[in-house]
Amino acid sequence: MPAVSKGDGMRGLAVFISDIRNCKSKEAEIKRINKELANIRSKFKGDKALDGYSKKKYVCKLLFIFLLGHDIDFGHMEAVNLLSSNKYTEKQIGYLFISVLVNSNSELIRLINNAIKNDLASRNPTFMCLALHCIANVGSREMGEAFAADIPRILVAGDSMDSVKQSAALCLLRLYKASPDLVPMGEWTARVVHLLNDQHMGVVTAAVSLITCLCKKNPDDFKTCISLAVSRLSRIVSSASTDLQDYTYYFVPAPWLSVKLLRLLQCYPPPEDAAVKGRLVECLETVLNKAQEPPKSKKVQHSNAKNAILFETISLIIHYDSEPNLLVRACNQLGQFLQHRETNLRYLALESMCTLASSEFSHEAVKTHIDTVINALKTERDVSVRQRAADLLYAMCDRSNAKQIVSEMLRYLETADYAIREEIVLKVAILAEKYAVDYSWYVDTILNLIRIAGDYVSEEVWYRVLQIVTNRDDVQGYAAKTVFEALQAPACHENMVKVGGYILGEFGNLIAGDPRSSPPVQFSLLHSKFHLCSVATRALLLSTYIKFINLFPETKATIQGVLRAGSQLRNADVELQQRAVEYLTLSSVASTDVLATVLEEMPPFPERESSILAKLKRKKGPGAGSALDDGRRDPSSNDINGGVEPTPSTVSTPSPSADLLGLRAAPPPAAAPATSGAGNLLVDVFSDGPAAQPSLGPTPEEAFLSELEPPAPESPMALLADPAPAADPGPEDIGPPIPEADELLNKFVCKNNGVLFENQLLQIGVKSEFRQNLGRMYLFYGNKTSVQFQNFSPTVVHPGDLQTQLAVQTKRVAAQVDGGAQVQQVLNIECLRDFLTPPLLSVRFRYGGAPQSLTLKLPVTINKFFQPTEMAAQDFFQRWKQLSLPQQEAQKIFKANHPMDAEVTKAKLLGFGSALLDNVDPNPENFVGAGIIQTKALQVGCLLRLEPNAQAQMYRLTLRTSKEPVSRHLCELLAQQF
């Protein structure tokens, strides 16, 4: 950089800054600034032309005033004029002013761009660097459009100075982050990658930052950087601190560049070339060896630089997850940091070991440090370190140490920080469920959890214990006995009352033989808690009381007296009042047989993912619960599958904030008719979060199928049916589907509920279910505005021959939809024979007098009519061989578009409709499924096999069916989900 001459000191600026600092009050400062602004304005407007030094001085003063927080509305043109100066200091001040004060919408931007172009073409490295810095600092799209094509050329030019290359690489990185579409890298890719071999370490450092960003979007284009990065890393790691003197930081050679190279390598799987991979493994071993060497300096900067490289190396080893020796060594190295006096190192070690615990190669090595981690949980003063210790205990837990870890986490919960108690509760609940060696231990653990941290036990936790107790006959008596004893405590948490009320209402008869827990004693114990509970808990207890009348007739008079009390029949809360009235009437009017039928024991809940695990994932974000999602370490562990969250109530009145569509959780069978309540339209009823599969309740399948049949002509119901709707418009009468129609359709291939479409006017939600060749779909149209929709007309259109393949009966909806209101449309669907294209949904209406229309693809695909089929391995392979004709098989090999998670893959395949067959494929990582597509005309058998390759981030999907078009179509549908 040019030397600053003696006359460039700008004494006037120094005096002005001194005056500002000496001001005794804000008013004095403003007065001095206004005086200076007036002086500068007069100088700029004066007849006498200012020389470069004066312009520079006054522009500097304006910049200083702006940085003090005052607005500057003049002087911009003088700053632009400084750009044409040949003096470095004047040009520098001009660029500095523009970078700080000129926005992309300024009228001067064209003049600025011309000055920048002149400097970029000047071949003066100092001026070129100033111009590049200005482009990066402004970083607007206009700047990108003007210079994005020139900067790569400067970057790879053979005659560019090293300092210019550095600035060009970082400038290009800035523009790429702001507007990726403006940076055309196709022709420059190979030459940019080759910068990793540049002799100047500064150029390499800047180039690595650029390539790391570029390869995240286009990994295949920059794949050649792997060997060059390994080569450069090898040279740095094997060099002595004296070899790279300019880039050695406290005896550590090029630490920043080393870290950047290690991060670049984490963008790719392990190198395929054996020589490159061997060299990289050697580098990683060298870093681990150097970590064991005594420090060359006692200064903290040395240890920080050394540890930065070490932790990034461990991150790369974990990313590859393919070298058992390196993984174990990394674990041992982190284990040494667990007792380090530096808090940050302990935190980072715990965090890295959480990831190591999910690897099959290093899990056992991580478990050897369990005592140290437990000690950290008890003694660490920093809450963030304690939280990481709890995370690590959760990650390292398996069948062999589950009881120890759960007991330690329960003990810690008593004194845990309030901020992390809910998370600890969720983890204890998940571990107790996952590794329960016997169900009595699980019940004891959850009740202990409620006793210790009842306020932090979410509904998902006590829902889950109720599911498991309901589904396991062998634990019901023990659960009833245990919860009865827990309720006897003087201070009993409300969640314990909820669990006790539900379990005793269902299984209290199992302990009624003991005089100490006779029916009157059970009722008295529960009712003693009644007046201390919230409305929701009282409602649950009232349901328990009516269950008691069925289980224990001797309590009928006592309970009816409670229900008949004025405090219940005239309760201010409508929910409690309604329950009391209905339950009292039910117990008085219904015969014993009717009462027994209505109030029979809850059926087992259907199997599905633990709602607690789903909650923890939502709380922690993607990747949470990896130790449980994996299913890798302990395939024999008990996963106590429950069903949909139970609502231990039998009558419910939805509140305005209720889940109107039932997409979050399906309620259990109702014992009494449920009343409908007004619901708020724009509540998050279309949540895409973990939701129970919709159910029509306990009606048998035949009832469901019969409900979908149209009423017979002579039936009285036929007279009440809607009149036949007008003829649907044909495909030629509607516009083409919206551009994102295919993307919206793909979201529903493996699920039945959610938001199909949403814009600023309209929200369309879907809730559907299918059985055999029949289906029912509810479409919910929500008006998101405050203006009424007129002539609202949603219609279903069958393109091509779809009319002969799929029958759809639609119900009419109201022609007006008020602002903020929601209307529902019911569709009954029958699959006549296999089809490839979905029907179209055309929605037309008038909003504010203007016609609105949109066309979507209705989420009805052939896989919706899948019936899962269980079969043994022998039957599967026999059928697989029978479907061996080339036209019966469709196969696709494709790259993973989403993170490869076994649990997510399993959920998608189940949502697709097939049954997952265990112990069929010799490779346990593969997924095998079977099902039958039910149509009215015929049945189409289907077998599938999905082979994930985690190392290559690829899938191979093979489908065999008895019909060629179905094979290809199902293969395309399913491949898009991964």
Question: What is the domain-level CATH number for residue 903?
Answer: 3.30.310.10
Residues 790 and 766 in one domain: yes
Which residue among 568, 583, 599 closes a domain?
599
Q: How confident is the model at residue 636 (pLDDT cuts 50, 70, 90)?
A: very low
Q: Among 377-386, 396-405, 598-607, 952-961, name the one with the lowest average pLDDT.
A: 598-607
How many structural domains are present in the chain?
3
One domain, residues 440 and 537: yes
Residues 536 and 408 reside in one and the same domain: yes
The mean pLDDT of the chain is: 81
The pLDDT value recorded for residue 707 is 41
The DSSP output letter for 414 is T
Residue 32: predicted pLDDT: 92
Question: CA 41, CA 45: separation in Å to the nearest integer?
Answer: 6
- The Cα–Cα gap between 570 and 555 comes to 23
DSSP letters of 310-354?
Answer: HHHHHHHHHHH---HHHHHHHHHHHHHHTT-S-HHHHHHHHHHHH
- Angle at 612 (CA atoms; ends 608, 616), nearest 5 degrees: 120
C-alpha pair distances (Å), 51 with each of 17, 43, 44, 81, 359: 22, 11, 11, 11, 69
Residue 927: phi and psi, rounded to 5, are -115, 135
Please compute the mean of the pLDDT values over residues 911-935 and round it to a whole number.
87
In a domain? residue 124: no
Cβ-contact 254, 248 below 8 angstroms: yes
pLDDT digits (tens, 9 = 90+) for 105-127: 667 788 888 888 888 888 889 99
Lowest mean pLDDT among 132-141, 228-237, 509-518, 608-617: 608-617
Structure confidence at residue 21 (pLDDT): 92
Q: Are residues 746 and 831 in the same domain?
A: yes
pLDDT on residue 964: 80
Question: pLDDT category, 230, cuts 50, 70, 90?
Answer: very high
**pLDDT beyond 50 at 722:** no
pLDDT in tens, 138-163: 888 888 888 888 888 888 888 889 89
CATH number of domain containing 476: 1.25.10.10
Q: How confident is the model at residue 637 (pLDDT cuts 50, 70, 90)?
A: very low
Under the banding of pLDDT at 50, 70 and 90, the label for residue 568 is confident
Give the mean pLDDT of 844-861: 87
- Shared-domain flag, residues 475 and 561: yes
pLDDT tens digits, one per residue of 8-50: 568 888 999 999 999 999 999 999 999 989 998 898 887 777 8
755 within a domain of the structure (yes/no) = yes
497 CA to centre of own chain: 34
Integer Cα distance of 266 and 216 in angstroms: 10
- Please check the confidence at residue 713 and state whether its pLDDT lies above 70: no
CA 726 from centroid of its chain's CA atoms: 44
Residues 868 and 847 in one domain: no
Same domain? For 847 and 951 the reply is no
927 and 842 both lie in a single domain: no
772, part of any domain: yes
Q: Confirm whether 572 is domain-assigned.
A: yes
Q: What is the pLDDT of residue 480?
A: 92
Q: Are 26 and 33 in contact (CB under 8 A)?
A: no
Q: Check pLDDT > 50 for residue 701.
A: no
In this structure, are 799 and 871 located in the same domain? no
Domain that holds residue 487: 383-599
Tally of CB atoms within 10 A around 488: 12
Exposure on the CB side of residue 335, measured as CA atoms within 13 A? 19
Highest mean pLDDT among 185-194, 334-343, 633-642: 334-343
467 lies in some domain: yes
Burial status of residue 612 (CB atoms within 10 A of its CB: 0-12, 13-18, 19 or more): buried
Structure confidence at residue 653 (pLDDT) = 32
> Which of the pair, 534 or 638, is modelled with greater confidence?
534
Q: What is the pLDDT of residue 813?
A: 86
pLDDT band at 674; cut points 50, 70, 90: very low
Residues placed in the known binding site: 11-12, 43, 53, 57-61
Query: What DSSP designation does 488 have?
Result: T
In a domain, residue 462? The reply is: yes
Site of tokens 């060594």: 329
CATH code of the domain in which 753 resides: 2.60.40.1230
Q: Of 814, 829, 860, which residue sits at a domain end?
A: 860
Percent of the chain with pLDDT over 90: 20
Q: What is the pLDDT of residue 612?
A: 67
Final residue in a domain of this structure, among 832, 860, 888: 860
Q: Is residue 640 part of a domain?
A: no
Do 868 and 852 lie in a common domain? no
Residue at 678 is within a domain: no
> For the ranges 358-367, 548-557, 648-657, which has the lowest average pLDDT?
648-657
Question: Are residue 813 and residue 931 in the same domain, yes or no?
Answer: no
**Entry pTM:** 0.57
Pair 811, 892 in one domain: no
- What is the token pair recorded at 750? 């493996």
Confidence of residue 437 (pLDDT cuts 50, 70, 90): confident
